[in-house]
Amino acid sequence: MLAKRPKETAKVVLLELSRIEPSPFQARRVFEQQELESLAGSIRQNGLLQPITVREVRKGQYQLVAGERRLRAAKLAGMTQIPAIVRPCDDLASAVLGLEENTQRRQLNCFEQARGLREVIGMWGCTQGEAARRLGMAQPTLANKLRLLALTDAQQQLCLQYDLSERHARAVLALDDADKRTRALERAGTGKLTVKQTEQLVQQMLRPPAKPKRTLLVRDVRVFLNTVNHAIQVMVQAGIPATATREDRDGYIEYVVRIPTDKPHSLAKPG
């Protein structure tokens, strides 16, 4: 994902854990306790097979660059010292190296990746296009990852809770309303919707609600009776001997209309 950079001078040393401070550029926020305990058990049995990476920030004091999970597991394993690669680098290089390792090891979720990328871009002070070039990424890929940060923290947590993919998260961004985004994520999660099904759900939510059909309410039946009478008058004026009889019955009015059909009737000629 990230562009290759020239190798820098580095050395491996054994450092006291108390001399290593956490990285202020750590993008990863979620550390599964069960995974850490499993790694700690492996460290107790086999030792730490891969050193962490640090940089010296003050005389005899170091800051973590990469290997947060290994550092935490080493503390759980009861280690007081840890093998570390000391790499000379500035803040920007430290942030990029940490992001690179976490991404390549698939230790970051999509939101942590997006936050890490945003931080690196901010430190570079460049456009997305330039940042994509430096990081060896396609610009649309970078832009799509940064778009994920439009979701609120609660919405991001829903994605993680329901194990929704990055594409699920991007699908709901088509909804402008925050409440609708939340509802869409909850329905996608609880219903175990595929990405395509989630996209279809979002399209349904984007459609304007159907307007209720207007029902003409006329309480006075005389309007309709006048219409019938008028129709009979028109037929008679046209030369059709139509007739209508009306009977008022209990609860309703009965109309009987008779229109002869035995022979054609010519229209009355104007006088």
Element (H, E) at 194: none
Separation of alpha carbons 62 and 80, rounded Å: 15
Among 68, 100, 101, 199, the active-site one is: 68
User: Shortest CA distance to 265 belongs to which of 240, 233, 231?
Assistant: 240
Whole-angstrom Cα distance, residue 233 to residue 241? 10
State the Cα–Cα distance between residues 132 and 104, nearest whole angstrom: 16
Residue 68 known to be catalytic: yes
Copy the structure tokens of residue 16.
């006291």
Distances in Å between the alpha carbon of 189 and those of 142, 145, 194, 202?
25, 20, 9, 14
On the 0-12 / 13-18 / 19+ scale of CB atoms within 10 A, 244 is middle
Say whether 56 sits in a helix, a strand or coil.
strand
Q: Is 68 exposed, middle or buried (0-12, 13-18, 19+ CB in 10 A)?
A: buried
Torsion sign, CA atoms 113, 118, 119, 120: positive
Which among 64, 127, 131 has a CA at the least distance from the CA of 101? 64
Catalytic residues: 68
